[in-house]
Amino acid sequence: MSQSFPTISDQKQPQAWAITPNSQALAQLAKGIWDCAVQTNQRPLVVLSTAGPLVGVRAALEQNRPKDLPSSIAFLPQVISFTDWLEAAPGAWKFPKKQTDLERWLSVFVNLRKHKTLQAWFKAESEAGAWGLAQAVIDACDTLSEAVIPQLQGELNELLQTHALDTETWLKKVELVLDQAIAKAYVGLSRNVVDEESAVLLTFWRYLSSVGDPVIRKHLAMAAHMQLAKSNAENQHSNVRPFIWVQTADPKPVDQELIDRYLNEYAQYAPVVRGDLDWGSVALWSEALCGFDADGHIASANPAEDSQVSSNIQANRHDDWRLLAARRFEELAWAATKSIESHLIAGKKNIALVAQDRLAARRTRALLSRLGSALRIRDETGWKLSTTRAAAAFDSWLELIRAPKEGPSASALLEFLQNPHFDLPYSLNKPPEACIGLLAQLEDILIASQAKSGWETFLMAIERANKYAASNGGSPNEHLIDLIKFVRRLHIAWQHLSVDCSSAYDLLQKNLKETGMAGRLESDAAGKQLLEVLDSFNLNSGVYSNLKMRLPEWLSLLKTVIEEATYEEAGKEAQATLSILPLSSTRLRQFDAVVLVGCDEQQLPAFSEPPLFFSDTLNRYLKSSTVAAQYVQQARDLSQLLVSCEQVDLLWQSKSKSGEPLRPSAWIQRLQTQLKDWKAIEVKPETYEGKSQPLQMSVSVPDKDLAIPVTVSPSAYKALRDCPYRYYVSSLLGLRKAKEFEEGFDASLAGQTLHALLKTFFQALKTEDEKSHSPIHDGADGRRQWMIEHLMKCSENEFERLIAGDARVLGTLRDWQKQIPSFVDWQIQRENEGWRYHDAELTVGFTLSLSDPDGVQRDIRIAGRADRFDIHQSDGNAAAVIDYKNQKMKKIVDRAENILDDPQLLIYARAASENAVAAHIPGRIVSQAEWVSLRADLDKGGDKSIRAYAVENMPELMAEFSEQITQDLNTLWARKPMQAFAPDSVCQYCEARGICRKGMW
């Protein structure tokens, strides 16, 4: 039972006050605090051990303000959390400088370098893992300090009396005391820890502990407060402000001892009241009632305590506690959403969603977002800053910095450039209109050329695209080159930087400004918080500012710190508030209704990750938090929650992912044994019925307003032949899948390079042929030798830049160089048949005239770029077209079998024959066409057939093809239905598959 506030006496020891943690707890607290003010005629100082109930206590104080208070105590009593109280210690400015988290991590790093014994430990860790381990080391060192430093309290108190000394001398004294204490404790602790891991940790502790540690500052702050109380008491002889300590959560044993001792001493100078929570009438389970025995184990209940628990359950049972079981995850989130909705409909304004199952809570939150701004959602579970768009944008820049000196991958580059915080016009110093579509164009070029990584590769791809655009009536875009050069400049600066903490920070800030990201992040809520986190890296005046490290180490430190940071959403006024919070945050807070998701046996209770270094036994020895303590605390928190709130929905998923049944938490089952009528309700989502029509094969009739292209490339015509529907989607609707780069190097840009080098080589051969004294005329062997050498050299030259961008291309070059002798043999054989290289890379085309259904005359241009034309030496009318294929012969043979569906060579042949002047072969007809493989199977010998494959029956095929293309284009212009049909081999790589829904019909 709750006790009324004690009568303040001057017995110079803390007075106990028991607070019942039920729905009236805040009112009881407030009344007691006012009572203290009235009794002592002083404004008491109230310190809460945790900050959660702060707002509630202040509000309750306001509501319970006694009438007719004398003016001296009319102000609201001061209520403050323990952490804030420490920060407000008198003379805190003189304390040793507080180390930031970052500085503490860096101190681990420095000690690792200094002490060989510690290094072995971190060897196996990646950079990110090492920083994570550093964090665990710091936590463990704090645990050790917490166990040891309380014994120093007396000395610290004394030291504070010499506070008047100059700060430096005083700090030296504090340091000395700490060193002595640690050295002494180290010997004692070493005896107790035998394993190597703990021994290394103790070594760390010895090296890392400093006067700037939070534990030391905490004790200094407590001593400073004590000092003030003492001097006040001595100066005024009486009437020192009363001090009320409210223990809102179970303390760790070490903290319990500390605060007990502290309050006892404080009571010598001021009235002290210690408020503890009394679980007598609230505990719903024996562990919540009994806590721990003297050995630190969970105490077992005696019969009287058992019956107390039983009567608590009966007395506190609310009719509106509901048990809701859902079978699947989605159903669980849906049921939680419905629960919250029903509370909102019932007019509840302040609702809690306890995220025992964090995933389900997140999903519920997403489902609730459709309620819009009428519901304010406050997520107290710690939304990670790293999950925000701003952090992802920033991360894309870090990935770019991390890239090797040759340059990033194209996906990393595009990821960065396409992030919404990158200000393209600002970066290039160009008007926004000039930048419209620039990134899309860059993406197109990189994808089309399969330029996958490296600055040189990107530049080459753009230069090629610009050159092509210039020679084909398009407009080259120089801004693309500027853009690549801009990012490359920023990237190179990192490669040349000798990284120390402050120069890396300065360069990063400079980057953010130059890319316009600083400005854009500043105007974004998460971005602003991200910039604040980055500010913590500004170590300009600190001891670690010149600390050198490798770039990957610094980057992963940066990433780890961002990963640790939480994002706080800005609150908005709304008709109702939903707080998403962990169970521990519900302590001494009031809600109109509570929904608890994740009440299954696996998630309730939930234990925090065990510390990396200490066993539970060692933790008990160090009087730190143990698994048992967490268990008892959660039993108490849940008891308090159920007892204080009438409307509590307890939800869980009754089937695990693997399909195994999941029972509710043991605590719920134990309550059910006492509350026989408290049954779980199986929730099922509302289902709607409807009839669907089976899907039919997709067919589309082009709308009369849909423009039909008047130019057709060989590949577009192939698409039309393969599947009209696919042509409809890609060429008429212009839909294109957002492409991604596949892993591994694709030879496309290398393929283009091969084409280019062959052209260069054959032009050189032509010139050489005209020189009468050239070694090329020294018989067949001399000619062969010359060709091999020059082709080798040409290849090295053309590939040089590509290799500078991506070293993996070297493999492609070497493969090609192996092909050269056999390729030259094929060329010589061809020359022996009378064929001579004539020209390469020529755009050729022909025009088809047809009338559309409206009788309008349409000229359709069929055009493409032919790889090479040869002419016959002895037949003045004969010419040949050649298409190089960077593929195996087998594929070429397959292609030849279906030439009418992929009539690229026939298109070139007709185009060159019809317009011989444009093809630079005036007076000749293309009578021969062949594919030449650049990846022949060399182990199949030197036979010509391993490299070239000629089109057979050219004249018949040409006639058939001409008739076919006329008919196809007439059908297209007649806007006849375009059906989806194609063999699976075509559909397998079709981008339109998601639209035609092949597989559904």
List contacts with ligand SF4 (CB under 6 A): 723, 725-726, 980-982, 986-987, 990, 992-993, 996, 998
**Cα(975)–Cα(858) distance, rounded to whole angstroms?**
14
Of 589 and 998, which CB lies nearer to ligand SF4 in the complex structure?
998
**Phi (first) and psi of residue 881, to 5 degrees:** -115, 140
- Smallest gap from Cβ 697 to ligand SF4, in A, equals 8
Question: What single string gives the DSSP state of each residue in 89-153?
Answer: -TTGGGSPPPPPHHHHHHHHHHHHHH-HHHHHHHTT--HHHHHHHHHHHHHHHHHHHHHHGGGGH
Short-list 898, 841, 845, 542, CA closest to 714 = 845
- Smallest gap from Cβ 742 to ligand SF4, in A, equals 19
Of 156 and 723, which CB lies nearer to ligand SF4 in the complex structure?
723
And the tokens for 892?
Answer: 């070429």
Of 215 and 980, which CB lies nearer to ligand SF4 in the complex structure?
980
Contact status, residue 634 vs residue 605, Cβ threshold 8 Å? yes
- Smallest gap from Cβ 986 to ligand SF4, in A, equals 5
Of 810 and 1000, which CB lies nearer to ligand SF4 in the complex structure?
1000
And the tokens for 98?
Answer: 């507080």
Of 662 and 986, which CB lies nearer to ligand SF4 in the complex structure?
986
- Smallest gap from Cβ 725 to ligand SF4, in A, equals 4
Of 160 and 732, which CB lies nearer to ligand SF4 in the complex structure?
732
Handedness of CA 218, 219, 224, 226 (dihedral sign): positive
- Smallest gap from Cβ 906 to ligand SF4, in A, equals 22
Of 440 and 706, which CB lies nearer to ligand SF4 in the complex structure?
706
Of 373 and 985, which CB lies nearer to ligand SF4 in the complex structure?
985
- Smallest gap from Cβ 694 to ligand SF4, in A, equals 17
**Phi (first) and psi of residue 904, to 5 degrees:** -50, -50
Of 468 and 981, which CB lies nearer to ligand SF4 in the complex structure?
981
- Smallest gap from Cβ 982 to ligand SF4, in A, equals 4
Short-list 100, 94, 92, 80, CA closest to 222 = 92
**Cα(181)–Cα(316) distance, rounded to whole angstroms?**
50
- Smallest gap from Cβ 738 to ligand SF4, in A, equals 17
- Smallest gap from Cβ 980 to ligand SF4, in A, equals 4
Short-list 957, 819, 826, 825, CA closest to 896 = 957
Of 520 and 726, which CB lies nearer to ligand SF4 in the complex structure?
726
**Cα(46)–Cα(242) distance, rounded to whole angstroms?**
8
Of 302 and 696, which CB lies nearer to ligand SF4 in the complex structure?
696
Of 972 and 990, which CB lies nearer to ligand SF4 in the complex structure?
990
DSSP, res 370: G
Contact status, residue 378 vs residue 574, Cβ threshold 8 Å? no
Contact status, residue 618 vs residue 679, Cβ threshold 8 Å? no
- Smallest gap from Cβ 961 to ligand SF4, in A, equals 22
Between helix 410-417 and helix 389-402 the angle, nearest 10°, is: 140
- Smallest gap from Cβ 901 to ligand SF4, in A, equals 12
Please give the distance of CA 793 from its chain centroid, rounded to a whole number: 47
* CA angle in degrees (0–180, nearest 5) for 222-223-226: 90
Measure Cα distances from 226 to 91, 223, 239 in Å. Answer: 12, 5, 16
Of 122 and 981, which CB lies nearer to ligand SF4 in the complex structure?
981
Of 879 and 996, which CB lies nearer to ligand SF4 in the complex structure?
996
- Smallest gap from Cβ 988 to ligand SF4, in A, equals 8
Q: How many H-runs (helices) and E-runs (strands) does the chain carry? A: 38, 22
- Smallest gap from Cβ 964 to ligand SF4, in A, equals 19
CA end-to-end distance (rounded Å), the chain:
72
**Phi (first) and psi of residue 293, to 5 degrees:** -90, -175
Of 347 and 734, which CB lies nearer to ligand SF4 in the complex structure?
734
Short-list 53, 103, 98, 104, CA closest to 80 = 53
Contact status, residue 921 vs residue 879, Cβ threshold 8 Å? yes
| SS3 (DSSP) at 379 | strand
- Smallest gap from Cβ 722 to ligand SF4, in A, equals 6
Of 115 and 993, which CB lies nearer to ligand SF4 in the complex structure?
993
User: 3-state SS string over 249-308?
Assistant: CCCCHHHHHHHHHHHHHHCCCCCEEEEEECCCCCCCCHHHHHCECCCCCECCCCHHHHHH
And the tokens for 115?
Answer: 């002490």
What H or E segment, with its residue span, contains residue 243?
strand 243-247
Contact status, residue 351 vs residue 317, Cβ threshold 8 Å? no
And the tokens for 875?
Answer: 């037949």
- Smallest gap from Cβ 736 to ligand SF4, in A, equals 13
**Cα(756)–Cα(841) distance, rounded to whole angstroms?**
8
- Smallest gap from Cβ 447 to ligand SF4, in A, equals 19
Of 108 and 980, which CB lies nearer to ligand SF4 in the complex structure?
980
**Cα(328)–Cα(368) distance, rounded to whole angstroms?**
18
Of 346 and 1000, which CB lies nearer to ligand SF4 in the complex structure?
1000
Please name the residues in contact with 203: beta carbons below 8 A apart, sequence gap of 6 or more.
115, 117, 118
**Phi (first) and psi of residue 648, to 5 degrees:** -125, 125
**Cα(115)–Cα(199) distance, rounded to whole angstroms?**
14
What H or E segment, with its residue span, contains residue 173?
helix 167-192
- Smallest gap from Cβ 698 to ligand SF4, in A, equals 7
- Smallest gap from Cβ 717 to ligand SF4, in A, equals 15
